[in-house]
Structure 1
Amino acid sequence: MLAGTGQNVWVAGSGVVRIYHGDEGWGVIDGAEVPGGCWVHFSAIAMNGYRQLAAGQGVSFIAEPMAQDGFAYRAVKVWTTETEPLDEQSESAQSRAYHSTMTLAFDEPPERGGR
């Protein structure tokens, strides 16, 4: 299925992860909509926590026609078939990343005598 206008033509479909290099953060997805495979970077994976795929895993994706490391397509967004894709706003609200806060309160300086 093609969507978009002008320069922004996207391909949406489903497929299977051919290979994923977790140590390097990239892999390849095979699907009917992306002949020859689709390059995927970990930053395009829509999930909480550590973003990683596994060979043989079913995925849905949105890709753009863009030459990347010998592949004709590059993934814009990828999610597993077991999960719904996260939108950008809810992703940051639901993040499990560590965060902390700190409040500083200063004592009042001692009063000087005489005046």
Structure 2
Amino acid sequence: MNLPQAAVGEVTSWNAEEGSGSVSSESIPSPAWLHVSMLRGIRFEDIAIGRRFSFEYEELEQDGYAYRATVLWEFGGDRPSDPDDDSGAHISYGSTLRINFDA
């Protein structure tokens, strides 16, 4: 199992139409893929190339990137809770799907 690791970095690319881009850090050898669903306590409109954020990443290939950001939050702030805990910390776009099968 590949556990996420924390880092500080800056957004190096961002496609607002697709809601994805990349974030770079001295902690990893190449940029990590970033998706709008990974934002915690950050609005979609706040993402800008060159802006610094704290993030967690894992070594997992995604859309041609060797790394993938799993959570991204304000630089210098505490890591917000995940949206599944109902804390309200996740203010960006998100969705879930649950399928229950009767046994």
Q: What TM-score does the superposition give when structure 1 sets the normalisation length?
A: 0.66
Q: How many residues align?
A: 90
Q: Please name the residue that 2:58 is paired with.
A: 64
* Residue 91 to residue 46, structure 1, CA distance change in 2 (3 Å): same
CA contact (8 A) 2:2 2:59 kept: no
RMSD: 2.5
Equivalent of residue 91 in structure 1, options 79, 88, 92: 88
Structure 1 portions without partners, runs of 5+:
1-6, 97-115
Amino acid aligned to 1:69: D
Structure 2 portions without partners, runs of 5+:
93-103
| Runs of 4+ with >4 A deviation | none
Q: Please name the residue that 2:73 is paired with.
A: 79
* Residue 74 to residue 95, structure 1, CA distance change in 2 (3 Å): closer
Whether 1:36 and 2:30 are equivalent positions in the alignment is yes
Q: Please name the residue that 2:16 is paired with.
A: 22
CA contact (8 A) 2:10 2:52 kept: yes
The structure where strand makes up a greater share of residues is: 1
CA contact (8 A) 2:42 2:73 kept: no
Equivalent of residue 4 in structure 2, options 10, 18, 34: 10
